[in-house]
């Protein structure tokens, strides 16, 4: 990665200082070709990491959609006369879960082709963090009131 790029830049600088112009041109062409192949490989790896993050997020969203259905059913049927304060407090987490899930679902619909390696890596990490956040919110809801998560 960064070490190889720094080495190539130093090598390019050293090659440019030679008195043999043909040697310098040929060496520079080889270095440029290597750096291009390295960047293409890094971009391919970053794209694969993004695909994996998206696949994992889709699995997480599916699980959450199933749980949301159960939780919503409990909220609607178990509290016909209004929610107690503790349940209303937990419903705030549930509302946040739904908003965050919708935001992540929207992000998964974006076209990420044509982005550079850094952009792909940042997006993959962000999708991973959002997915983890959803899992934590759902776990917190189910831990506090397990009956909401039961069918």
Average pLDDT for 110-132: 95
> Over the stretch 126-147, which tens digit does the pLDDT of each residue have?
999 999 999 999 999 999 999 8
> Over the stretch 31-41, which tens digit does the pLDDT of each residue have?
889 889 988 89
Within its chain, how far is the Cα of 14 from the centroid?
Answer: 40
Q: Taking all residues of the chain, what is their mean pLDDT, rounded to a whole number?
A: 91
Q: How confident is the model at residue 151 (pLDDT cuts 50, 70, 90)?
A: low
> Over the stretch 58-112, which tens digit does the pLDDT of each residue have?
999 999 999 999 999 998 898 888 889 999 999 999 999 999 999 999 999 999 9
Please indicate whether residue 117 or residue 10 has the higher confidence score (pLDDT).
117
User: In terms of C-beta distances under 8 Å and separation of at least 24 residues, what long-range contacts does 42-46 make, across chains too?
Assistant: 42/1, 42/117, 43/116, 43/117, 43/120, 45/117, 46/117, 46/120, 46/121, 46/124
Q: Tell me what percent of the residues of the chain surpass a pLDDT of 70.
A: 99
């Amino acid at each position: 990665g960064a070490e190889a790029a720094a080495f190539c830049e130093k090598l390019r600088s050293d090659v440019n200082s030679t008195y043999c112009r043909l040697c310098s041109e040929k060496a520079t062409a080889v270095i440029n070709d290597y750096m291009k192949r390295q960047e293409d490989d890094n971009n391919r790896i970053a794209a694969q990491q993004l695909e994996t993050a998206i696949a994992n997020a889709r699995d997480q969203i599916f699980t959450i959609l199933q749980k949301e259905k159960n939780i919503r059913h409990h909220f609607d049927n178990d509290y016909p006369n209004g929610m107690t304060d503790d349940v209303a407090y937990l419903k705030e987490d549930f509302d946040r879960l739904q908003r965050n899930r919708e935001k992540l679902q929207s992000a998964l619909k974006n076209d990420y082709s044509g982005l550079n390696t850094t952009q792909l890596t940042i997006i993959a990490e962000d999708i991973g963090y959002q997915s983890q956040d959803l899992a934590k919110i759902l776990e917190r809801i189910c831990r506090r009131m397990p009956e909401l998560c039961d069918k």
